[in-house]
Structure 1
Amino acid sequence: MLKGFNGATSMKYDLFSDISSASAAGFDVLEIWKTKLFDAMKWHSVEDIVKDFVKNAIEPYTINSLEQATFSKDFGEKLEECEMLCALAQDVRAKVLIVVPGFIQERLPEEEIKRETIGVLKELSKLADHYDVKLAFEFLGFQNCSVNKLSVAREIVKAVDRKNVGLVIDTCHLFGGSSTLEDVQQTDPEDIFIVHINDLPKIEGREIKDSDRVMPTDGILPLNDFIKTLRKIGYSGVVSVELFNEQYWNLDARQIAQISYEKLSQLL
C-alpha cells in the first residue's frame, strides 16, 4: 500500500509546506486541500506548484473536495465547481477529486437518496472524464449526511457503473457511523480509490466529530483488523492520514508529518 498525507492534518500550514514536510517524512503521495491550492495560486503559477512536487519527489494524488455535491441548492453551480476542480487536478497532475454527499434537514427514503446521488455522480463523471480525473465518493458517518453507510455508498457506485467513479473509505466515518468490517469485506477493491486512516478515542453520549480524530493506533478503533481486511480483499492503493484535530495543527509542520508517517508505518 502507498502512504499518503492529507492537507487537513496540517490545516494551518500552506501547500508548499505540506509538499516539503510530507516528502521529508517519507510519504508517497499528498492529498491537496483545495483552499491551500487556491491560496498558493494567488502568488504562484500552476507550473511552480508542479515543479515543487517534482523537486520534492512526492506525487499529488487527490484534491479535497467537492462538498454538498448532492441535494445542493444550485446543481449548476456544483457542475461549474466540479469542472473547475477537475481542470485544476489535471493541471497539477492530481489523479482524483474527492466528492462528498450533501447534508439533509430530515431523513429521506433511501431510494430517493440513491436516485439523487446516482444521477448527480453520473453527470459529474461525464465532466471529470474530459480531464482524465477520477471521482472518489466519500460517505460520511454523520446522521444528517444523506449517504452515511458504506453499504449504501457501495450500491450507489455500482449503479453509477463508470470506471472513473469509486469510493473513499474513511475509518472515522466507517466505525463512527454504522458501517462494519463486514461491509469492507464485501467491497470490490477496484471500487476503492483511496482510504483515509485515523483513530478515535472512546466517545459516549454524543455523535462523533471530525475534530475528535487522533493519530492511527492512538485510539480504540480496530485498525489492525481493518488493514487485514483491506489486504484480504486485495486492496493495494493509497492509505492516507487525515485528521481535523487542532492539537496537531499547533505542532511544527514537519513534526506533524513525521508523527503521521511513523504511526501509519507502524500500523501497516
Structure 2
Amino acid sequence: MKLSYNEATAANCSSLEKDLVLCEENGFDYIEMRGDMLLDYLMGHPAAVLKDFFGNSHLQPHAMNALYTYADMFHPQRANTSRDRALCAYFLACCETAYKIGGHYFIVVPHLLDDSGNIYLPHDPNTMPYPYDKEKVMEDSVRILRKLAAMAEQYEMNLAWEPVGSMGCAVRTARDAMEIIDATGCGNVGITLDPFNLYLDGKRNDFSDLARIPKEKIFAVHINNCDPLPLGTLDHCHRRFVDEGEIDLHNYLENIKKTGYDGMVSIETFRPEYYEMTPEDVIRTAYVTTKALVEGRL
C-alpha cells in the first residue's frame, strides 16, 4: 500500500505550500489536498507552479477533499440555488486544477445534519438521528451523484462517496454506500473508506463487510484511530494518529486487503491538539506512525 497524507491533519497550523514540501521530505507517496487550502494557494500561485512541483516530485496528488452535499442538492423544486452555485463553483474550480496537475479523485460526503452553513466542513452535531427514510436517502443520493459524475467526466474525475457512521448522517455504513453507488450506474463513482467514520456506527470494530467490496470500487482509504470516549461525546476532534486508540485497525486493513486493494492509505485527523504543533512535527509523526502500521510494526 502507498502512504498518503490528508491535509486536514495539520490544516490549522500549515498551508498547502508547506505541506507539499514536508510530505515530499518525509517520504509520502500521495497528498490529499483540502479544497479550501487549494483555493488559498491559488490566490498566490498559478496552477502551473503546482503542476511543475508534482512533475518533479515523488509526491503525487490523490483525492481532493471534500464536497459536502445536502439532501435537496440539485432538486428541481427544493434546492437552495445559492448554495448549489457555491458548491458547484468550488467543485469545478478544484476539478479544473486537479485535471491540470494529474489528480483524479474527489471525496464526496453524504448529507450531515448541520446548521453552520459551512460548505467546506459541515458537521453532524450528533444530537438527533437522520430524519429521512432509506428510500428518500437513495433517491437524493443517486440524483446528486449522477449530476456530479456527469460534471466530473470532462475532468477525468472520479467521485469517492464517503459514509459517516454518526447518527445524523444520511449514509452511515459501507453497505448502504455501495447500494447507492451501484444504483447510480456511473463508472466514475466509488467509495471512500475511513475507520473512524465507520466506527462511529455503534463503535463497531468488525470490518469484515469491507472484504466484499469490489476492489475497483475502492477509490480512497483513510486511516486514523481515536480516543476511548462514549458515543455522543466521541467526535472528529478525537481522531488521533494510528499508534494508539480504540479502533481495531488491523482488522480494518486486513479486510481491505482481502479485496486485493493495494492503493493509497491516507492519514486523516481533525485533532485540535495537533494544530498546536508545528507542521514539521505533525507530518513527520503522521508518516512514521502510519508507515509502521501499514508495515505491520504496530
- Under TM normalisation by the shorter chain, which class is it? over 0.9
Tell me the SS of whatever aligns to 2:226: coil
Task: Establish whether residue 147 from structure 1 lines up as the match of residue 171 from structure 2.
Answer: yes
Instruction: Give, in angstroms, the shift of residue 228 of structure 1.
Output: 1.1
Correspondent of 1:202 among 220, 223, 228? 228
Correspondent of 2:215 among 189, 198, 217? 189
**Using the alignment, how far apart are the partners of 1:90 and 1:255 within structure 2?**
31
Residues 152 and 76 (structure 1), Cα distance of their counterparts in 2 relative to 1, 3 Å cut? same
Correspondent of 1:82 among 91, 101, 107? 91
**Using the alignment, how far apart are the partners of 1:125 and 1:141 within structure 2?**
24
Instruction: Give a deviation string over 1:116-174, Cα, whole Å, max 9, x none.
Output: 10111011111101110111111112211111211110111111122211110111111
Instruction: Give, in angstroms, the shift of residue 186 of structure 1.
Output: 2.1
Residue 194 (structure 2) aligns with: 170
Instruction: Give a deviation string over 1:217-241, Cα, whole Å, max 9, x none.
Output: 3102100111111111211111000
Contact 1:89/1:97 (8 A) holds in 2: no
Task: Letter of the 2:210 partner, please give it.
Answer: V
Task: Establish whether residue 92 from structure 1 lines up as the match of residue 101 from structure 2.
Answer: yes
Residue 3 (structure 1) aligns with: 3
**Using the alignment, how far apart are the partners of 1:54 and 1:60 within structure 2?**
11
Task: Letter of the 2:6 partner, please give it.
Answer: N
- State which drifts further: 89-98 or 162-171: 89-98
Instruction: Give a deviation string over 1:184-222, Cα, whole Å, max 9, x none.
Output: 122111111011100012112524211000101310210
Contact 2:95/2:157 (8 A) holds in 1: yes
Instruction: Give, in angstroms, the shift of residue 69 of structure 1.
Output: 4.9
**Using the alignment, how far apart are the partners of 1:39 and 1:227 within structure 2?**
34
Residue 124 (structure 1) aligns with: 148
Tell me the SS of whatever aligns to 2:146: helix
Instruction: Give, in angstroms, the shift of residue 29 of structure 1.
Output: 0.3
**Using the alignment, how far apart are the partners of 1:85 and 1:42 within structure 2?**
13
- State which drifts further: 75-84 or 238-247: 75-84
Residue 64 (structure 2) aligns with: 63
Residues 205 and 35 (structure 1), Cα distance of their counterparts in 2 relative to 1, 3 Å cut? closer
Q: Which runs of 4+ in 1 moved over 4 A?
A: none
Tell me the SS of whatever aligns to 2:3: strand
**Using the alignment, how far apart are the partners of 2:70 and 2:26 within structure 1?**
33
Tell me the SS of whatever aligns to 1:247: helix
Residues 80 and 34 (structure 1), Cα distance of their counterparts in 2 relative to 1, 3 Å cut? closer
Correspondent of 1:227 among 225, 246, 253? 253
Residues 182 and 254 (structure 1), Cα distance of their counterparts in 2 relative to 1, 3 Å cut? same
**Using the alignment, how far apart are the partners of 1:137 and 1:262 within structure 2?**
28
Compute the RMSD of aligned alpha carbons. Answer: 1.7
Tell me the SS of whatever aligns to 1:32: strand
Residues 231 and 205 (structure 1), Cα distance of their counterparts in 2 relative to 1, 3 Å cut? closer
Tell me the SS of whatever aligns to 2:230: coil
Task: Establish whether residue 27 from structure 1 lines up as the match of residue 36 from structure 2.
Answer: no
**Using the alignment, how far apart are the partners of 1:166 and 1:231 within structure 2?**
17
Residues 113 and 207 (structure 1), Cα distance of their counterparts in 2 relative to 1, 3 Å cut? farther
Residues 117 and 109 (structure 1), Cα distance of their counterparts in 2 relative to 1, 3 Å cut? same
Contact 1:96/1:135 (8 A) holds in 2: yes
Task: Letter of the 2:141 partner, please give it.
Answer: T
**Using the alignment, how far apart are the partners of 2:247 and 2:84 within structure 1?**
39
Instruction: Give, in angstroms, the shift of residue 175 of structure 1.
Output: 1.2
Residue 243 (structure 2) aligns with: 217
TM norm structure 2: 0.85
Q: How many residues get paired?
A: 268
TM norm structure 1: 0.94
Structure 1 unmatched ranges of 5 or more: none
Tell me the SS of whatever aligns to 2:145: helix
